[in-house]
Copies of this chain bind each other. A is one copy, B any other.
């Protein structure tokens, strides 16, 4: 049971790895304005899912990785109420990637669900 539980943590981590990037690109694609990390975390918290799939802390490395891959750009802006904030915007390349990733996500769902149901 200890083994199964470790394996489940690994599975959860693997599931989150891809889907976190997909969700962040999608949120920024639909946003009318650039968003900063905390704002995105709050938006995801308000979602239907009761499980916090993406805690704020795990969100920042994903944002940075997306920016390193040129899918997001960012700019630091001063804040009246605290430290400066890094605002993220989706790039043209990011929109292209999102389109491909949504297609991959739909295929993955179809594949997995076909084999879970038998």
- Whether B30 pairs with A96 at a CB distance below 8 angstroms is no
- Sorting the interface of chain A by its residue count into under 10, 10 to 19, 20 to 34 or 35 or more gives 35 or more
Q: A76 to chain B: which residues have CB within 8 Å?
A: none
Say yes or no: is A83 at the interface (Cβ < 8 Å to chain B): no
Q: Which residues on B sit within 8 Å (CB–CB) of A21?
A: 11, 14
Judge whether A4 is part of the interface by a CB distance below 8 angstroms.
Answer: yes
Chain A interface residues (CB < 8 Å from chain B)? 1, 3-4, 6-8, 10-12, 14-19, 21-23, 26-27, 30, 44, 47-49, 51, 53, 66, 69-71, 93-94, 96-97, 100-102, 104-105, 107-112, 114-116, 118
Q: What are the residues of chain B within 8 A of A18 when measuring CB–CB?
A: 11, 14-15, 17-18
